[in-house]
Amino acid sequence: MELKNDILLRTLRGEATERKPIWLMRQAGRILPEYRATRERAKNFIGLVTNPELAAEVTVQPVDILGVDAAIIFSDILVIPEAMGLPYQMIESKGPYFPQTIHTAEDVARMQVVEAEVSLKYVVDAIKITKQMLAGRVPLIGFAGAPWTIFSYMVEGSGSKTFSKAKAMLYQNPDLAYALLEKITLSTIDYLKAQIRAGADVVQLFDSWAGILSPEAYSTFATPFIQKICEAITEVPMIVFAKGAFFAMEDLGKLPCTALGLDWNMSPATVRAQVGKDKILQGNLDPCMLYAPDDVLVQGVKNMLHAFGDRHIVNLGHGLYPDIDANKVKLMIQTVLEN
Crossing angle of helices 121-134 and 52-65, rounded to 10°: 40
Q: Is 251 a catalytic residue?
A: no
13 in Cβ contact with 305 (< 8 Å): no
Using left for φ > 0, alpha for ψ between -120 and 50, and beta otherwise, residue 176 falls in: alpha
Three-class SS of 16-71: CCCCCCECCCCCCCCCCHHHHHHHHHHCCHHHHHCCHHHHHHHHHHHHHHCCCCCE
10, 19, 39, 197: the catalytic one is: 39
Residues 32, 22: Cα–Cα separation, whole Å: 18
Among the listed residues 76, 201, 207, 263, the single catalytic one is: 76
Cα–Cα dist 108/112, whole Å? 9
Q: Which residue among 10, 19, 30, 197 is the active-site one?
A: 30
Active site residue 76: yes
**Using CA atoms, how far apart are residues 191 and 204, in angstroms rounded to an integer?**
12
Give the largest CA-CA distance in the chain.
Answer: 57
Backbone angles phi, psi at 330, to 5 degrees: -65, -35
- Select which of 6, 35, 69, 153 is catalytic: 153
Does 30 qualify as catalytic in the annotation? yes
Residue (of 230, 116, 6, 231) closest to 242 by Cα position: 230
Amino acid (one-letter) located at 157: G
CB contact at 8 A, 3 and 303:
no
Q: Is 190 a catalytic residue?
A: no
Which of 26, 69, 190, 263 is an active site residue?
A: 26
CB burial class (10 A; 0-12, 13-18, 19+) of residue 161? exposed
Show which residues are catalytic: 26, 30, 39, 76, 153
